[in-house]
Structures are given as structure tokens and as C-alpha cells.
């Protein structure tokens, strides 16, 4: 298996995206899991609602799964040119190609639906 420059470039780009994605999502989870301090003088930051915090954290977890499992498995499958001897890993790879995106998209749709319904109910009573 001879490797060309394109293979090395793909592995490098995917590796950088994976590392940055894991680091960024861990920062998001850390920041949004901390309690909001309102006792500091001059603290004027608008605090997100509890549902928005849960939504952001759920998206961060879904993206963390993608960056820590999906991208490295893609790197491996590209490196071995999809010729793996392990049937379990091949099936895992196929599941990982679809599952995190479906979960993330379903979260987005549900959040938009809930926000729409809450706003419609709130404005109908005015």
C-alpha cells in the first residue's frame, strides 16, 4: 500500500479537526456545567435559560462523540483503505457514520419545535 501526499494530508487534517473538536467541546461542557455566579460586582452577562444550557450541553456531547469516535475511525478506515479484517469494527464504523449526525439533527429539530410552541403559546395569551 503506497501512500500519496493526499492520504497524508487527509490524515493530518482529520487529526487536527478531531483534537480541536474534542478540546473545544470539553471547554463548552466545562463552561456550561459550572453554576452561574451573580454575586460578582459588575456581572452583567445574560444567563442562558436552563433548557438552552441543556441543549448546548447535549449538542456538545453529540459533537464530542463525533470528534472522539467517528473521526478517528474514519482516519483508520482511510489509512487501511477500507480493508479491515475485523468485522465488528467495520460494522461499528458504519453505525458511527450515521448515528451522531442523526442524534444532533434530531436535537436541533426538537429544540426548534419546543421553542416555536413555547413562543406561540406565550404570545397567544397576550
Question: For residue 98, is pLDDT > 80?
Answer: no
**pLDDT score for 20:** 95
Helices 5-33 & 71-79 angle (0-180, nearest 10)? 170
Helices 50-65 & 5-33 angle (0-180, nearest 10)? 150
Q: What is the mean pLDDT of the chain?
A: 80
The mean pLDDT value for 116-124 works out to 67
Confidence band of 13 (pLDDT split at 50, 70, 90): very high
More confident residue, 89 or 118: 89
pLDDT tens for each residue of 27-81: 999 988 887 666 666 555 556 677 778 888 888 888 898 889 888 988 988 888 8
Place of cell 444532533: 104
In the structure grid, which three cell numbers stand for residue 18, read together?
478531531
Q: What's the rounded Cα separation, in Å, for the pair 31 and 55? A: 14
More confident residue, 104 or 29: 29
The mean pLDDT value for 98-107 works out to 73
Cβ atoms of 28 and 88 within 8 Å: the answer is no
Amino acid at each position: 500500500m503506497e501512500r500519496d501526499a493526499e492520504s497524508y494530508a487527509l490524515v493530518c487534517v482529520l487529526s487536527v479537526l478531531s483534537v480541536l473538536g474534542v478540546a473545544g467541546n470539553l471547554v463548552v461542557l466545562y463552561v456550561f456545567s459550572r453554576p452561574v455566579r451573580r454575586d460578582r460586582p459588575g456581572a452583567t452577562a445574560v444567563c442562558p435559560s436552563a433548557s438552552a444550557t441543556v441543549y448546548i450541553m447535549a449538542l456538545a456531547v453529540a459533537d464530542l462523540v463525533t470528534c472522539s469516535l467517528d473521526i478517528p475511525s474514519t482516519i483508520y478506515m482511510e489509512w487501511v483503505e477500507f480493508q479491515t479484517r475485523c468485522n465488528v469494527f467495520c460494522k461499528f464504523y458504519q453505525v458511527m457514520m450515521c448515528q451522531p449526525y442523526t442524534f444532533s439533527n434530531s436535537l436541533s429539530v426538537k429544540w426548534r419545535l419546543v421553542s416555536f410552541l413555547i413562543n406561540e403559546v406565550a404570545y397567544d395569551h397576550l
